[in-house]
Every structure is written in structure tokens, then in C-alpha cells.
A and B are shown apart, each in its own frame.
Chain A
Amino acid sequence: MSASLVAARRPRRPRYRLRRVIAEAAASALAIVLVIWSVGPIYNMVLIALDAHGDVFSDAIWPPAPTLESFRIVVTEGYWYLENFWRQYGNSLYVGLSTMFLTLLIGSLVSFTVGRMRVRRGWVLTNAALLTYVIPASFLAIPFYRIMQSYGLANNAWSVIAAEVTFATPYAIFIFQQYGKSIPIELDESARIDGATPLQVYLRIYLPLMAPALVAVGTYALLLAWNEYLYQFLLLSSPASMTVPVALAQFLNSDEAPWNYMMATAIIYALPPIAIYYLFRRHMAAGLTMGGVKG
């Protein structure tokens, strides 16, 4: 589309066309490399999932006798680690979407306050947030276990959501702040002059302009919660209240497991977040046009 526009503006010159052909060829080559790179390990997962015995070692690069049996087992909850699969799937959506929503809400409110409302010591808050990452999350499990007990949140899905939001929000704040830099503050100011309250500026100007960042960070928060399992084992006690990664982690409990079921579960489970990202992503145009917003 853009190409035809450009073409209309300029006379077609052979040199230009040649360059375009080379660029297209290079892009196609890069695309092939990217597909092989991205799909390689996943292809191996598919090979294992399609094997009737879940053999992980093989001398083939193509499934010798592919069967969809393991996918059937997963969706029919036909194996004991997967007996709560659909319930856990629902939990995944609940925990993942709650984490996503809360992270976006809390993170964007803070970065709006600090970055756009010009609170003089706002940086104290963002700098303090950095403390969250000084000790890796896997080692903060111990104190988290303790505070959730004291708050009476043990065995409650909200303890997991709270933990995920705690780890996701500082990142959201940092990214929103960096991102907000490229949105001219004049937009806010002119709205204020027109009598808008900060809430209206936040809702009508800030959030719409932040859309690409909201989608990116939202996907980050969703996936953080989507694939986490250690905190769930730590904070929850019933498999029915946990999410799908808990089922996946169970496969590692013994040194024997039907790896085909594990891989089939992982493949089925990886698709929704991608669909969610894609759905939001495709509604955004690349490159904002400030003029439209200003006018």
C-alpha cells in the first residue's frame, strides 16, 4: 500500500525498482530465518506431542507415525496431571486477565501522575519501585509466603494475582514513562485549558495515545501470570484453584512422564495469549499522527 503511494509520487526509475527488489528479497530471507529460528524448538515439541509414546529421542526429523492422541487426551482431561485442565484454563484466564488489567491500571495511573501531572517528587515513587527487582523473584518466595499468611490471603487466588501485579507493575511504570516522553505535553495542557479534569485527560488523551505500550505491557503482564507456577504451589493448596502451568510442572515431579501430553498441553496453552496480543495489535496503526489528535 505504502509502496504504491510512493510509486505514484515518483517516476519509476530502474535503480529504484532494483533496490526495492533487493529489499524485498532481503526481507523474505530474513523472514525465513526468523521462522526457522522461532519455530525450531516448538517444532521439536510438536514432534514429541505427535509421538504415540512420547519419545523424546529419535533419528527422524519428521514424525514417523504422527497421532493427535495426546491432544485428545489433553482436551478430554484424560491424564491425572490434567484432570483439572479446563478448570485450570479458566483460572489462567482469570488470574492472567486480572493481573493484566490491574498492572495496566495501576502502572498507567502512576506514570500519568509522575510524568504528566508533574508531581515534584514523583521520581521517589518510581525509584522506590525499582527495589522490587533488587532480589530475584524466585528468592522473594520466602517472604511472600509469610506475608500472604499474615494477610490471610493464603489459599486465595488473589494472593497469586497480588504477587504477579507486584512484580509486573514497576516494569509497566518504567515503560510507560519512557514511552510517554514522545507524547507532547502540549496535548494535555491544551485540554486542561479547555477545562478538562486530570481524569478526563488521563482517559481521553493519555490512554489512547499510550495504546501500543498498553498492548505490549499488557501482554507482558498477561504472560507473566499465564506461565508462572512456583508462587501458585507456594501460596495455594488445591490443584483446582491453580492454573495450567501447575499441571505442566507436575510432569517434572517424576523422572518418568508422558512427554507427549506435556508438550501437547504447552502448545494448546501457548495460543490464547498470542491471539489476545494479535487481536489488540492489529487495531493499531504503526506511527501516530499527531495532527489528528491535535485537531
Chain B
Amino acid sequence: MSVTQQTVAVGPPRTERHGSAGAWFGGIHGTELAWAAAFALPYVAVFLAFVVYPVAYGLWLGSQPALYRELFADPVYLRAVLNTVLFVGIGVNVKMALAFLLSGFFLRKSWWTKGLLVIFILPWATPALPAFLSIHWLLNGQWGLLNNALYMLFDIDGPIWLNSRWLGLGSNIVAYIWKWMPFWTVIFLAGRMAIPQELYEAADVDGDGATGYRRFMHVTCPLLATLYLVCTLLSTIWTLGDFSTVYFVSGGGPAMSTEVLATLGIRDAFVLAQPHLGVAAVMSALPVLIPIVVLLMHKLRTSEVQL
């Protein structure tokens, strides 16, 4: 590992200043290196101790081609792939878009917005297991809270939500968004709070014209675009492996029509005692996963100072 004076292109004024800084850097090159090494050491240790072996082991578990033949022979598999695409594709994107917009709303300075934020993050703090069970029960067609409320308030007989594939899948997606949107909102809120106020003031030269829109399009969006992309890609990877939403809300029913790869994997690994097959089920998403990881790597690599 070595320390460089300049890895990225910066604006002209900065380059000027860099000359003097470079000389300063060069003077204590060794100490600088020691600091960098010391700062990176804890994570390097965590990585070597807890990441290298487990991940290699996991990849090895799912490495036999025969597993994939067995997987594809499962008649539920293809449907689970489609469900996974819908669950992850819709769930992640809707969640992220809403979270991004709401983070702007929660930037408002009124006292009740702060109180509202506390209520808003309740789903995130609530343990997933009882929360999803509660959702499973409130969706009950005969005796559930949702249909009771629909009946009392609007005199409508709601459907039996979890008896239909599409309503079931939709319920899983909505439950997933409900649980995780607050988390990403908080992340984007932090991102917005990092934007220096001066930048907004600079964009505000025209007075009160379309300020909100301009601020959003010319300052917020460009500054948070990479953060948004990185978060969306990461969330996609995580959601591919998320089994608890589907497992507890629809349970994969009716008739296995809302299963996703992760629930099939959990079943194969821990109910059928065939962990190789279970890992293969989630690893069969690698054709999607690898481009995401490559893109993420690229983004993380070039994501140094760009202002």
C-alpha cells in the first residue's frame, strides 16, 4: 500500500493548492503510510478472519454443476425465479424511489415533521418476525383487520388477499417496502443533510421562481445520484437473499406460487437437510448478481472526490 498525492482530477483552484499540499505530504511519507495502515488494519483483520473463509466456503458449497440440474428440474423453480425478479425489481425500486422523495419531506423544519419521523421509523425498529406475522394475520380475508376496516369504513368486502398469487406477491412486496423504506429514508436524509447549504444558496440566485424544483434537479439529484445508485444495487443484493418477508407474510402460498429463490434455498438447506442445494438456489441468481457487483465495484472505485 502506498500513499499517493493525487488520484483524482480536481478543479483548477484545487490543483493549485495541491502543489503545496503535495510537498507537505511528501515530507512525512513514512508516517503517513503508518497512519493509513493503522487505520485500515481493523477492517483488514475482520475481513481476513470473518469474510474470506465463509464466502469461499459458501461458494464451494454451491459449486457442483449437478446441483443446478436438480434445481432446474424442480417445477416450482422457474416460477420462483419470476417471483424473485418481481419481488426484488418492484420492491427495491419502489422502496428506494419513495425513500428518496420522503427524505426530502423529512428535511422540513417544522416540529411535527420530527415527531412524524419517529412514527415513520417504527416499522424499521420493530422486529421482523412479529411484524410480518401481524401482517399475515391482518390480511386474513374473514377475520383480518384490513378487511374488517374496509367493511366498516367503506362497506366493502375485501378479497382473501393471500389466496391469490398476485395479491399474495403484492402483499409480500408491500410488507417488504413497509419494513425497509424507513431505513433507506434515514440514509438518504443523512445524505441530504451533508449537502452544504452554500450550494443551495448558489442555486437560488433567481429568487423564488421554481426554487424547490431547481434545488432538487440541480443540486440534490446530481450530488446524491451515486449514493442512490450504490444503495439501490446493495439493496438488490440483500433482497435477493431475503427470505423472511415471503416466509412469514405469504409463506410462499398459495400452492407455492409466491416462493422466491431465498425461500426455496432455506427449504432445501434446512428442511430437506441439503445445504448444497440451498446455496445453489440463491447462487443461481449469480447471472444477475455478478453484473451488479461489477457495477458496484466500479462505482466504489471511482467514487472519490468528484465535486
Contact = CB atoms under 8 A, between A and B. Distances in A.
> A and B from one assembly?
yes
Interface of A: 1-2, 10, 16, 27, 30-31, 34-35, 37-45, 47-48, 56-61, 105-107, 109-110, 112-115, 117-123, 125-140, 142-144, 146-147, 151, 162-163, 165-166, 169, 171, 173-175, 177-179, 181-186, 189, 192-193, 197-199, 202, 209, 212-213, 215-217, 219-220, 223, 226-227, 229, 245, 248-249, 251-252, 259, 262-263, 265-267, 269-271, 273-274, 277-278, 281-282, 284, 286-291
B54 A147 contact: yes
A123 B299 CA distance: 10
B300 A133 contact: no
B96 to A, nearest CB: 14
Interface in B15-62: 17-18, 20-21, 24-25, 32, 35-36, 39-40, 42-44, 46-47, 49-51, 53-55, 57-59, 61
A10 B208 CA distance: 10
A270 B108 CA distance: 25
B205 interface: no
A197 B36 CA distance: 11
B190 interface: yes
A162 B47 CA distance: 11
A198 B32 contact: yes
Contacts of A123: 300-301
Q: Chain A binding site: helix, strand, loop or mixed by DSSP?
A: helix
Contacts of B107: 286-287
Interface in B118-149: 118-131, 133-135, 137-138, 140, 142-145, 148-149
24 contacts: A45-B130, A57-B144, A109-B43, A126-B301, A135-B55, A137-B241, A140-B54, A143-B54, A146-B57, A151-B49, A169-B43, A174-B234, A175-B230, A178-B191, A179-B194, A182-B195, A186-B14, A198-B36, A213-B191, A213-B194, A223-B124, A271-B125, A274-B122, A277-B121
Interface residues of B, number: 123
A30 B119 contact: no
Given A106-B46, A215-B190, A57 B39 contact: no
Given A115-B304, A144-B54, A262-B130, A179 B227 contact: yes
5 nearest A-B residue pairs (beta carbon): A136-B241, A57-B143, A143-B57, A143-B54, A216-B190
A198 B5 contact: no
Interface of B: 1-7, 10, 14, 17-18, 20-21, 24-25, 32, 35-36, 39-40, 42-44, 46-47, 49-51, 53-55, 57-59, 61, 102, 105, 107-110, 112-114, 116-131, 133-135, 137-138, 140, 142-145, 148-149, 152, 175, 178, 182-183, 186-187, 189-198, 200, 208, 223, 226-227, 230-231, 234, 237-238, 240-243, 262, 265-266, 269, 275, 278-279, 282-283, 289, 293, 296-297, 300-301, 303-307
Contacts of A39: 119, 122
B178 A129 contact: no
A47 B303 contact: no
Contacts of B283: 135
A20 to B, nearest CB: 11
B127 A289 contact: no
Given A278-B118, A288-B196, A129 B47 contact: yes
B39 A110 contact: yes
A59 B191 contact: no
Given A61-B145, A142-B275, A41 B303 contact: no
B148 to A, nearest CB: 5
A179 B230 CA distance: 11
B51 A131 contact: yes
A119 B36 contact: yes
Contacts of A37: 178
Name, among B6, B182, B234, the residue most crowded by chain A CB atoms within 10 Å (CB to CB). B234
Contacts of B152: 61
